[in-house]
Structure 1
């Protein structure tokens, strides 16, 4: 059984909803299972801390989750065309995994959500992908053979799944967004199975 780590930060649940669709895609592949994990928020107040265990949702990720996974899906809301500080903080703490080669030849994908349709989704995906390319991972986007990519009027890019929530977060996950997120999960799981033999 291969395991795909679906790692995300979500402030209001939009990115989490996309994470769960990707996990559904992963779980639909024979021999694959998804492990959902999140990261704690960061604060400008130095004394502010998050509880060791979140009050709701999946547990916080740690470096052992990276060691254990056969593939990785990473998601964050869009913040001015970049990932949220909470995800960047977690990624910045993975130098030990980089030094030991923990993630070499493992496939990964990235995903995001924004309240505006042109809110920097693609630059956010690229900014999240760069650190994992430094880790020696293999980036899995979404090919145009996925028909929803050509006609979506909401989220979806060849760089990875995206979601448009509307200015008040009122838009539900669209059928195209759901289809593309699940297709990404399937593609990631199948790639992890194929690439497992190449790992050092």
Structure 2
């Protein structure tokens, strides 16, 4: 076992569990690459009420992300459900607070990837994924998507885009991933880890 694995941050916000399930599959893909460890983190809800009463540690699931998680990561997978074709406010709020990391170029040159979920098939997945890439580009990160060499990308009837893994929850808000969605999220995590290993070796 590698005593000093490359820590790859899987940072997400999930309301009904679908984005979390994508994050778990991406984490499995990351850890299928030798010398890599997935670090799962989430962000709290954002509102004047939540900020006043929300516990500093979530009741269940991943811990909340902190500045040191960004500082020490070798790569980043960022996930959010779609809100009107854009990332959720909780994710945007966290990203907007990363000015110190931007000033210190702490993420520059590191690989990154994005993932999302929607209720409907045409609910703005690709616009959300593209918008999530923008702050990562400002941070100087190297963006990675999913190539069409992943055959599930060509025949999926649910989630999955070349811009990043995705899930279609439907009107019942199902968090269960399809086989193609799971396969693509795993492949995305694995690809991110492989890039992190190559970049760390330079």
Give the alignment's TM-score, normalised by structure 1. 0.96
Instruction: Give the corresponding residue for 1:24.
Output: 28
Instruction: Give the corresponding residue for 1:43.
Output: 47
Give the 5 Å matches for 1:53-72.
53-72=57-76
**Cα shift at 1:44:** 4.3
Rate the CA distance shift 1:47–1:99 in 2: closer, same or farther, 3 A. Answer: closer
Pick aligned residue for 1:4 from 8, 24, 32: 8
Rate the CA distance shift 1:58–1:51 in 2: closer, same or farther, 3 A. Answer: same
Looking at structure 1, the residues matched to 44 and 54 of structure 2 have their Cα atoms a distance apart, in angstroms, of 6
Instruction: Give the corresponding residue for 1:189.
Output: 193
Rate the CA distance shift 1:47–1:89 in 2: closer, same or farther, 3 A. Answer: closer
> Deviation per CA, 1:76-109, whole angstroms, max 9, x where unpaired?
0000000000000000000000000000110000
**Cα shift at 1:170:** 2.8
3-state SS, counterpart of residue 106 of structure 2: coil
**Cα shift at 1:172:** 2.2
3-state SS, counterpart of residue 52 of structure 2: coil
Structure 2 residues not aligned, in runs of 5+: none
Work out the number of aligned pairs and report it: 198
Looking at structure 2, the residues matched to 128 and 195 of structure 1 have their Cα atoms a distance apart, in angstroms, of 22
3-state SS, counterpart of residue 45 of structure 1: helix
Give the 5 Å matches for 1:1-200.
1-45=5-49, 48-170=52-174, 172-198=176-202
> Deviation per CA, 1:49-71, whole angstroms, max 9, x where unpaired?
31110000110001100001000
Looking at structure 2, the residues matched to 32 and 170 of structure 1 have their Cα atoms a distance apart, in angstroms, of 30
Rate the CA distance shift 1:192–1:46 in 2: closer, same or farther, 3 A. Answer: closer
